Amino acid sequence: MRKASLIALSLLACLVCLMGPAQAMAASDAPPCFFFTENGHMIGKLHCNAKANDLETVFTQKPGTACSVQLTVNGAPDGAPIPCPPNANDIEVTWGLNPAGQEVIMKCVWTVNGVAIASCLPTNHNPLDNGFTLVSLTIVRAFWTLNGKMIGLPIKAPTGANDLEFKA
């Protein structure tokens, strides 16, 4: 038994050396992160916050422009995109641990200037959804919160940002 444990530890140490510590960690050990994109291409840097349990994103939309949220499981689209209500200008997404210990989206709300107007989670959404892609005319800023209280300063979107991708 002791020999098997030593072999397992040796293999784990080799994985950390070869892959780096971040890639060797289980997906649930990674903190929640997001990045801004322009037409699906990352611009700016990756933003992560292990203390947060909510992300609010402020955006602009105009009639006739695409605006939606696409729920994801480990980055893969899950279900159809959910269109933004016509007057929405931000989205609040809250996540937490499910009974299996996985970080998943618990709540998603469209808001107008911070006032909730509609849920953005379909009643039949996949309980394993753990991320989203927000598509809009312009992404303005995003900020992390913990139980609704802002953590740090708002993160201004880089010029050209029209999407935001997030994973809990």
pLDDT tens across 38-92, in order? 999 999 999 999 999 999 999 999 888 889 999 999 999 999 999 999 999 999 9
> What range does the domain containing 92 cover?
31-167
* Inter-CA distances, 9 with 47, 101, 156, Å: 32, 24, 43
Residues 13 and 84 in one domain: no
Residues 3 and 66 in one domain: no
Residues 17 and 74 in one domain: no
Measured CA to CA, the distance from residue 128 to residue 95 in angstroms comes to 11
Tokens of residue 25, six digits: 């960690």
Measured CA to CA, the distance from residue 130 to residue 97 in angstroms comes to 10
Residues 7 and 67 in one domain: no
Domain count along the chain: 2
Residues 56 and 126 in one domain: yes
Residues 80 and 160 in one domain: yes
Per-residue confidence (pLDDT) for residue 29, from 0 to 100: 73
% of the chain beyond a pLDDT of 90: 75
Residues 79 and 2 in one domain: no
Residues 42 and 104 in one domain: yes
Residues 70 and 130 in one domain: yes
More confident residue, 17 or 59: 59
| Number of C-beta neighbours around residue 161 at 10 A | 23
Residue 57 sits at the vertex; the CA angle it makes with 23 and 107, to the nearest 5 degrees, is 75
pLDDT band at 19 (very low <50, low <70, confident <90, very high): very low
Residues 49 and 118 in one domain: yes
Residues 91 and 119 in one domain: yes
The three-state secondary structure class of 19 is: helix
